[in-house]
Amino acid sequence: MFASVTSGAILGIQSYLVKIEVNASNGLPGFAMVGLLSPEVREAAERVKIALKNTGIKIPPLHITVNLSPAHLRKEGTSFDLPIAVGVLAAINHLSPEAVKEVFIIGELGLNGSVKKVNGILPIVMEAIKFENFRFIVPHENVEEAKVISKAKVCGVSNLEETIALLKGSVMEFRKKAGSRKKTGNRQPLNEANADFADIVGQEQAKRAAVIAAAGFHHLLLIGPPGTGKTMIARRFPSILPVLSEDEKLEVSSIYSIAGLLNTDQAVMTNRPFLNPHHSITAQGLTGGGRIPGPGVVSLSHRGVLFMDELPECNRDVIEILRQPIEDKRITISRAAGSFTYPADFTFLGAMNPCPCGYFPDQEKCCCSAKDVKRYLNRISGPILDRIDICTEVARATIETLSQTKSGTSSEEMRGQVEVAHKIQKLRYEKFPYRANADISAKDIPFFCRLRKREAELMSEIYQAMGLSARAYHRILKVARTIADLGESEAIDEAHILEAVHFRLSDGRYWQ
């Protein structure tokens, strides 16, 4: 007898439906599986047979063939175990064909018949709901993740016996079991969102740079001697960012679901990601590795912050990899299995010392030669610097500043300024494919960053005097647009341009 069950899988970061076709016929007893399968999928035959046996179900001596369609896509992972078992039960008449109609099943089986958690449930359910009004059967540990999709009728199961009982029951019984749904309100942040800028006394210029960066989602580089607060500023940056929209929450949660970083306590990501990899990170760790690469750090930072401390200590090849994702907001990786494109729309934060000892240009403290300083700074190439919108020095605080008893500017005050700017940008780009000022393409800059005659003349003078590239010129205009929004000004004034230029002078002081 023939039976089919619908399931799903992940290829890179894309999800697709898989039809599991099972045919049981007379002949030499056996269990054959086809459909371009990886070794772990082929091993499902043994897991299914033993799980059914330990559940008390004996498979008759038939020749069973299982095909996973579409056959041209390679199937990986252990998420097909449960649907294969259900397909076999339907093929040997233990379940009726109606029982598995319009049912979507996914899950890994233990040898004792238990159903185990799998990765990527959220994007798979999002994809499946587009095609048919499925009833979803997923592992109990994944049920809250699947229920994030409000239209999905989801039921979680803990073992094979429970799955069979559920499929033999009525549709009404399924709906009753799938009806309860936990509320996924705001959860405890996974990053540094609890840290407050009020902890940092002084450093008002660096705080201003952080506000501008957060207001327009601009990339920011902090440079200065050790112990001046560069890392403290970066770790508090998420506390002034606007909250994720509902669509952004699903985007980020899907990536974390595929990476297996969502847990039963967190069905959906509610805070912007904050990734701070060690400077020894490899190129594969940053972009994603493997034959079919999973999400790397740049993709896990999507819609959030990628902070790289001690930036020159990173391998130069790793730093250069950032060129494409910073510019294109996505990363494409080519493997023998094909090309895979992952989202990588993050705000980049870098922190670094100006020389190996950290104290350049303080001649009293710096013990590095001019050649050492130049070699150290040249680990950050011109093309990378060109892609960073804001560069600011974080200077050593005076004893008078450190002795102050009053708190510095708080995250709440800074977030208030950021939210004002984001409301303005949301209205401005309502009919355009932009989220913030940093996203404006070169062709639209003359429209959104329109300059009056005096401001245009000023930018012309700056362009010639600083020897700017076209990219740097456009980035100054985009930062000036953000500064104008922070001041609730429709027009970009000279003061806005000069402040934007000021935040590019720091890199010119070190990289001459």
Give me the residues paired with residue 21 across strands: 4, 67
Q: Determine contact, residues 145/121, Cβ cutoff 8 Å.
A: yes
Residues 54 and 151 reside in one and the same domain = yes
Whether residues 392 and 255 fall in one domain: yes
Per-residue pLDDT tens digits of the chain, which is 512 residues long:
899 999 999 988 889 999 999 999 998 999 999 999 999 999 999 999 999 999 999 999 999 999 999 999 999 999 999 999 999 999 999 999 889 999 999 999 999 999 999 999 999 999 999 988 899 999 999 999 999 998 899 999 999 999 999 998 865 566 566 665 554 444 333 344 468 999 888 889 999 999 999 999 999 999 999 999 999 999 999 999 999 999 999 999 999 999 999 876 778 899 999 999 999 999 999 998 777 788 999 999 999 999 999 999 999 999 999 999 999 999 988 877 778 899 999 999 999 999 999 999 888 889 999 999 999 999 999 999 999 999 999 988 878 777 776 777 899 999 999 999 999 999 999 999 999 999 999 999 999 999 999 999 999 999 999 989 999 999 999 999 999 999 999 999 999 999 999 998 776 778 86
What letter would DSSP give residue 245?
Answer: P
473 lies in some domain: no
Q: Are 8 and 104 in contact (CB under 8 A)?
A: yes
Q: 331 is in which domain, residue-wise?
A: 197-429
The residue with tokens 């957060």 is 214
H or E element that contains 349? strand 347-352
The reply to whether 190 falls in a domain is no
**457 domain-assigned:** no
CA–chain centroid gap for 396, Å, is 34
Closest to 325 in 3D by CA, of 291, 292, 287, 294: 287
Write a three-state SS string for 136-179. Answer: EEEEHHHHHHHCCCCCCEEEEECEHHHHHHHHHCCHHHHHHHHH
Give the total number of structural domains in the chain.
2
Instruction: Assign residue 422 the CATH number of its domain.
Output: 3.40.50.300
Same domain for 168 and 230, yes or no, is: no
Distance between CA atoms of residues 433 and 155, nearest Å: 37
Q: 394 and 260 share a domain?
A: yes
**CATH of residue 81:** 3.30.230.10
User: Based on the domain organization, do 127 and 252 belong to the same domain?
Assistant: no
- The answer on 319 and 248 residing in a single domain is yes
Residue 152 lies in a domain: yes
